[in-house]
Amino acid sequence: MTESAEQGGQGSEPGEHSAERLPEEHSPEEGSAEEHPSEEHSAEQPEPLSDEERRVRRYKRRMSAYRSARVLSRPGFRGTLRERLAVLDAAPDLYDLDEASDVYGDGVVEALERKVAGLLGKEAAAFFPTGTMAQQVALRCWAGRTGDGAVALHAMSHPEVHERHALSQVSGLRPVRLTGEPRQPTAEEVRDFAEPFGALMLELPLRDAGFLLPSWEELCEVVAAARERDAVVHFDGARLWESAVHLGRPLDEIADLADSVYVSFYKSLDGYGGAALAGPKTLVDEARTWRHRYGGQVFQQFPTALSALAGLERELPRLPEYVRHARVVAAALREGFAAAGLPWARVHPEVPHTNAFQVWLPYDPDVVAEAAVRQAEETNTLLFTNPWDAKGPAVAYTEVDVRAAGLEWTAGDVKAAVSQFVARLNEEVGKPEVRE
C-alpha cells in the first residue's frame, strides 16, 4: 500500500491535495494489546505489520524527522500551533486591530475581499471558507445565467478528482470532460467538443498532471474558443498566484481573460485556510447569497482573514523567486539521478511551470518512501518531504515544492542529497522486505 498525498481531496495538497491529511492514521489506543502486550505473548514472535500499519508508522517517522531536517519546503500547515499563531504577529501592520471584529463577513473580511479584487483586476470578490464551495457557487451562478448546467473541464481537475462529485451531487451541474490526457486542454478540443456547455473551467496550474500551465498564447486561444461557443470562462486559480512567471503576465492581466476566478489563501500563501471568488459585482453579490445557503456564512473569520492578508504581504512577492529556484532544483535533481546511475528517473515537467513539480522513479512506492525516511533519520536531510504514490506498476512519484527553505539549497546541495538518497534506495532494493 502506498502513502497518499491526499485523502479525498496535495491538494492533497500539500493541499486539500497539498495539505497532507491522513485522517485514518492513528496511534494505538491506550491499553491496547499493541501498546501493552501481555506477559503471555511478550516472548512470542510479533505479528507481522499490515500494509496500513507500516504506512502509518512510516508517516509518523517522516513527520518526526521533518521537524528538524533540512528540507526544500516548510509549508505553514505543518507547523506547530505556536508557529501558526506567529503568522498574526504582523497583523498590526496589516489592519487596524482597534477596529471592531468581523461579524458575518464585514470588517477585516471585507478589507481582504477588496484587496483580492484589486490584485485580480475584478469588480468585486467574496470570501469563502473553502475553494470547493467557492467554485460550486460560481459555476452554479453561471449556469443560471447561461441556462446550461454543463461545465467543460479536464478529467484530472480538482472537482473531478478530489471533491466527491460535488458539482453534480450538490449543485446539480453536469461536468463534461474535454480530455483526460496529462496536459492542459487545447483550443481545438474546446472548439470541437461534441456537445454544448455553458461554462469552461480551467485549472491553472493543473496540479495532478504535474502543476502544468499552458503558454500565454495557448491560454488565450483556449479562452477564445470558449467565447466562440458563447460559454463563460472560470479559472480554478488555487495556485494562480505562482503562475505569473510562466505565463509572463501580471495577475490582473491573467485574470482578465476569465469571467470569474477562484484563488486560495493557504496553498501558496500559508494562510489558515479560505478562498475568494472574484468577478463581476452582480455575480459576486449572487454568490454571497449562495454562500449563505451552502453554510459558508461563518460568524467570525478574522484569524483566517488576517492570515490571508499576511500571506499576500509576505509570501506573494516571494513566489516568483520560489518558481525560479524550483527550476534550479529540478535541473540538479535530473543531473544528480543521472550521476547516481539510476536506470530511469523523471522530473516532470523538466522545467517546472510553478514552484512545484513531480519526480518519478522506477520502484515500488514503499521502497522509495522508506529510503527517503531513512535519509532524513540518518543524515538530517529530507530531500522528499511529501508521500510517494504509485504512477503505474513499479513506478512511484512524489511532489516537490520549493519555498523559502529551499532557497538555501545550491545545485550542489541538491546533487549531494540525491547521492545520499540513492545509496539508501539501493540498500532497500536489495532487502527481501521493506525495513521498519
Residue 25 has pLDDT above 60, yes or no: no
pLDDT of residue 432: 63
pLDDT of residue 45: 67
Q: What is the DSSP string of 278-316?
A: EE-HHHHHHHHHHHHHTT---S--HHHHHHHHHHHHHTG
85, three cell numbers = 499563531
pLDDT of residue 5: 37
pLDDT in tens, 286-328: 999 999 999 999 999 999 999 999 999 999 999 999 999 999 9
Which alpha helices (H) appear in 156-279, and where do they start and end?
158-162, 166-169, 187-191, 216-228, 244-247, 251-255
Residue 14 has pLDDT above 70, yes or no: no
348, three cell numbers = 516532470
pLDDT of residue 257: 98
CA angle at residue 189 from 184 to 192, to 5 degrees? 165
Cα separation, 427 vs 436, in Å, equals 13
Query: Of 173, 228, 223, nearest to 200 (Cα)?
Result: 223
pLDDT of residue 22: 45
Cα distances (angstroms) measured from residue 342 to each of 284, 299, 349, 363, 410? 52, 55, 18, 11, 22
pLDDT in tens, 149-166: 999 999 999 999 999 999
pLDDT of residue 49: 83
Length of the chain: 436
Residue 399 has pLDDT above 80, yes or no: yes
pLDDT in tens, 199-237: 999 999 999 999 999 999 999 999 999 999 999 999 999
pLDDT of residue 11: 42
Residue 21 has pLDDT above 80, yes or no: no
pLDDT of residue 47: 79
Name the pLDDT band for 3 (thresholds 50, 70, 90).
very low
Longest dimension (CA), the chain: 76
Name the pLDDT band for 379 (thresholds 50, 70, 90).
very high
More confident residue, 44 or 388: 388
Q: Any residues with CB less than 8 A from the CB of 227 and at least 6 apart, and which?
A: 233
Give me the chain's average pLDDT, please. Answer: 90
Query: Of 278, 257, 295, nearest to 141 (Cα)?
Result: 278
